[in-house]
Amino acid sequence: MSLIPTVHACAATGGPILPTDRDVLFASYFARLEAALRGGPVDGVLLSLHGSWVAADDEDLDGRLLEETRRRVGPSAVVVCTLDLHANITSRMATNADALVGYASYPHLDMRETGVRGARLLFGALSGGPRPRTVFRKLPLVVPPENSQTTGGPVAVAKAAEAKVGKLPGVLSTSLFTVQPWLDVSDLGCSCVVVLDRSATAVELAGASDGMTSVLQALWDVRDEVRVDLVDPGVAVREAIRGNSASVITNSRNASGTGPVLLVDSADSPSAGACGDSSTLLRAIIDAAPSRETRVLLTLVDPQAARVGRSQDGSRVTVDLGGSFDHALFEKVRFGGIARHVEDTTVRFGAGVGDGLTAELGDVTVIEGDDGPDSAPGLSVMVMSRPVACYDPEIYRVAGLSPENASVVVVKSATNFRWTYGPIARGWIYVDTPGAATPNLKSLPFTRISRPRSPWDEISEPLPSDHDAFGDAHKRAYARANGSLPGGVTAGARANASLGFPFYVSRASGSTVFDIGHRPYIDLVTSNGAALVGHGHPRINEAVTQALNEGMACAYDGPAQIELAERLCDAIPSFERVRFTTSGTEATFYAIRLARAATGRTRIIKFEGHFHGYNNPLAFSMWPSPDPAISGPLGSPRAMPETSGLPPSSFAEVTVVPFNEPEILLKTLDVIGHETAAVILEPINYDAGCVVPDPGYLELVRRETEKRGIVL
């Protein structure tokens, strides 16, 4: 087995990527993939994506990357993708990946293990093991990261339910995704993903569906508990300095009860996409005037101030800090103290989350507060030029600061700090600060998310499955379709009187179709027979892909049409010639015309309840009323038109008879057989409910039509 690397690219969390930058990354990746394909078919692809990648012109770049990968490698290749626990799962992602595998933990403690799990699914399938398939369900719920840790708290209940699903027959992998909450995209929500053996039985698929429901129900039940209690900045600073306030959340991992209290400014967390340039807590700490004995540490991103130490190392400086990127949200705060330049500004994470990863802080200057103006003697401000993840205490240590010996430490992280500061922190306070990464989601200007959605809306339903109660997504699609499709459907047969709206499907795989609410269904209809071998069968997909790649010259015949006709004639002894059509309506149109040409007659006899498309002489009595006053008596049914717009000649050219009534058929043939060109029927009356012909009935029809020179 040959392993071919493609592209490794990383970026800090931020806003939507520019389309030009996206195009560069895509081109680099696909150039390597296509180079590999020139050496022969690719058997498998293993991708490591985040799952919340957005561009200014595309809400789902992860799905787009998977879609374009699938288009290139074809349906036979196994595509496995590992994701962050905060991925926003979409139908495009699930359709184009055989398996989606997410981190199991938050804080993210299993990055390597997730890669191993994904690789095992891939190599297992390539070695003759089960080929995976992905199903998922989604909730109209967004969980703030501050309370989405899997090591305890509300989300741990849903994780326990997920663990049970992982033990079900046919299940290869499970993942719970609590979603990146600051994505302003329409299809935003938490998801449960189950990876199944592609050959899973209907019972196993149903078990997985029920399992996903149980996981999402557990998460939905704690939707109020995941909301974050925030403390006013001034109050939080005073109580952190005091150290024993009820506002401090106790750190259960530090049994000693000693160490610093963490002021959690998660709204300004660079690892969540904020700029790290908030001056809110700096202002509150200066106002609180901590003593020299009360050591307080704070980080802040300000490129201009971070360079001060280069020229004024050891000197007292006064700088205006904050709002270097987000000018509208943060005011400059003046701070004075002794500047200390930091030479080595490369931080290596090593406290349990992302161990071994490195980050460049850029220019770094530490300003030590003193008794001078605009200062606080116990405060050390670490000013850096680049916004980097601040959840690891190693950030401070790089600058020669000791968080374990401080009284108060400002941490700009939502949850990862719980693990990295676990051995040293006494506890923490979540502070109500402004910022792009605030857990107060209602305070942010979302414009694209679909509603209703928690926490923006109060939803009283016990479990609003997959965005909506059943039918809401279909009704919205129906309203949209009515603007451009007659009746909101592409064919009248797809209207659904029992539901009151059409049943819209977004994707299909094997024996399963998924509606636009992401619910899986076993497809017993098999597209009315067109998908007898299942949806997306690899051999069919390969043939279609090959035809597309060769350029489908639809206006011409070629070897493929000839070969197909020969195969049909060889397989079915009665076939002498073949005419290809694109629909049943077209096929019966040709059949009726051929019968009339062969016999010189015009009348057609059809059977009540039989469906043959929408040709004029056949658009009668497909779904007759059971009321004889409308449809006529059993022995003499009326030809009931199924549509308006039929010409008068159509009524004069069709005779309708009941099915499985040989005496009535014989009497009809005795009267009008001499003017009848064709008798047309469904051998099994499928459309009206699978009415099987009585023994000998079809033989009688064949015998009597042949005797009278009528085409059957």
Q: Tell me the per-residue pLDDT of 533-564, one tens digit each, with 9 for 90 and over.
A: 988 887 888 888 888 888 877 788 989 899 99
Cβ atoms of 272 and 414 within 8 Å: the answer is yes
* Per-residue pLDDT at 361: 96
Instruction: Look up residue 357 and give its amino acid.
Output: L
Query: pLDDT tens for residues 349-403?
Result: 988 888 888 999 999 999 999 999 999 999 999 999 999 999 999 999 999 999 9
Under the banding of pLDDT at 50, 70 and 90, the label for residue 470 is low
Under the banding of pLDDT at 50, 70 and 90, the label for residue 521 is confident
* Per-residue pLDDT at 465: 54
- What is the DSSP secondary-structure string of 445-513? ---S--SS-BTTS---SS--GGGSSTTHHHHHHHHHHTTTSGGGSSSGGG--TTTTS---EEEEEBTEE
pLDDT at 522 > cutoff 70:
yes
Highest mean pLDDT among 153-162, 493-502, 688-697: 153-162
Task: Kindly report the average pLDDT of the chain as a whole number.
Answer: 92
pLDDT at 689 > cutoff 90:
no
Q: How is residue 60 written in tokens?
A: 């789902």
pLDDT above 70 covers a percentage of the chain that reads 98
Under the banding of pLDDT at 50, 70 and 90, the label for residue 91 is confident
Give the list of residues 6+ apart from residue 304 with CB closer than 8 angstroms, or none.
324
Distance CA 452, CA 472 (A): 11
Query: pLDDT tens for residues 233-274?
Result: 999 999 999 876 778 888 887 767 789 999 999 999 999 999
Count CA atoms within 13 Å of residue 57 on its CB side. 6
Distance CA 51, CA 64 (A): 11
What is the DSSP-derived secondary structure letter of residue 228? Answer: P
Mean pLDDT of all residues in 212-237 = 94
Element (H, E) at 564: helix 559-571
pLDDT at 468 > cutoff 70:
no
Q: Which domains does the chain have, with CATH numbers?
A: 19-221 (no CATH), 233-438 (no CATH), 578-707 (3.40.640.10)
pLDDT at 282 > cutoff 80:
yes
* Per-residue pLDDT at 529: 81
What is the DSSP-derived secondary structure letter of residue 617? Answer: G
Cβ atoms of 286 and 379 within 8 Å: the answer is yes
Instruction: Tell me whether residue 179 is exposed, middle or buried, using C-beta atoms within 10 angstroms of its C-beta: 0 to 12, 13 to 18, 19 or more.
Output: buried
pLDDT at 657 > cutoff 60:
yes
pLDDT at 688 > cutoff 80:
no
pLDDT above 90 covers a percentage of the chain that reads 70
* Per-residue pLDDT at 469: 47
More confident residue, 671 or 508: 671
pLDDT at 436 > cutoff 60:
yes
Query: Looking at the whole model, is its pTM more than 0.85?
Result: no
Mean pLDDT is lowest, of 117-131, 224-238, 522-536, for 522-536
pLDDT at 467 > cutoff 60:
no
Mean pLDDT of all residues in 563-587 = 94
Distance CA 98, CA 80 (A): 6
Instruction: Tell me whether residue 102 is exposed, middle or buried, using C-beta atoms within 10 angstroms of its C-beta: 0 to 12, 13 to 18, 19 or more.
Output: buried
* Per-residue pLDDT at 263: 97
Mean pLDDT of all residues in 298-313 = 96
* Per-residue pLDDT at 29: 97
